[in-house]
Structure 1
Amino acid sequence: MNILVPIDDSDPARAAIEHAATTSPDATITALHVLDPTMAMYRGDRSYNYERAMQLEEERSETLFETAREICDEHGVSLETETVVGRPADRIVEFAAGNDVDRIVLGSHGRSGVSRILLGSVAERVVRRASVPVTVVR
């Protein structure tokens, strides 16, 4: 079984890796980090230099992957890592469709009401659009 786990630097993302590793110990987990160019532009004083901002985001993804490796190693689960660029929900769904993914496990911040409407929900968009089962972990 191949499980896709989109990750960022949030507690729900770490919970998603942990959930996938503990509930599917025989699976191969692919940790996917989506570099969102629109968000990279707004991190601190890096906004004036797009290329440098994206380079820093790529370096940051390695730290995220190290955390995912530690969790998977602890549970004896195989881990692969991938980084893509684009809008997170779109790229997650595209990656799942274009690769041999059996299930997506992703974290959710659990926003509701106005907060969800204003900020959008990657998890909600993935659930609506994915062609494979999706587990949302909070």
Structure 2
Amino acid sequence: MTSGTYTLLIELPESVTITFGAAGERELAAGTYAYTGSAFGPGGFSRIDRHRRVASGENDARHWHVDYLLGHPGTRIVEVVRSAEADIECAVSRRLAGEPIEGVGASDCDCNSHLVYGGEGEAFPDEVRRTHASARND
């Protein structure tokens, strides 16, 4: 079992309104989103497998804010960026270029958000990989 920090790159094919549990509703534009999370708890990176099951419809449980996005029909995880044994969740979330979705995914820290909208371009995955690398090097 490996632990660390991960970022899910999530494709949303059309604009939607999603209710993120107690965080409330957010209007989301079509495009790519990055959700950064920590995998230091039990199971480590196996948490990513759980996220994949929610995205595929195999798991209906909604424990984290990102589950509401992943559970929406049409969303899919297009890539996962991992930094093994690196506790850089907040550093990555704060540094990502893009539009933070305020109050989503950051209920256990003082960050504004751990979900960032990267638009519809193809450069965002590279941005996420660079951000992980630079946060690991600090």
When normalised by structure 1's length, the TM-score is 0.38
* Structure of higher CA gyration radius: 1
Relative to its length, the structure with more helix (as a share) is 1
Question: TM-score, normalised on structure 2?
Answer: 0.38
Per chain length, whose mean CA-contact separation is higher, i.e. which structure has more relative contact order (CA < 8 Å, sep 6+)? 1
Specify which structure has the higher proportion of strand. 2
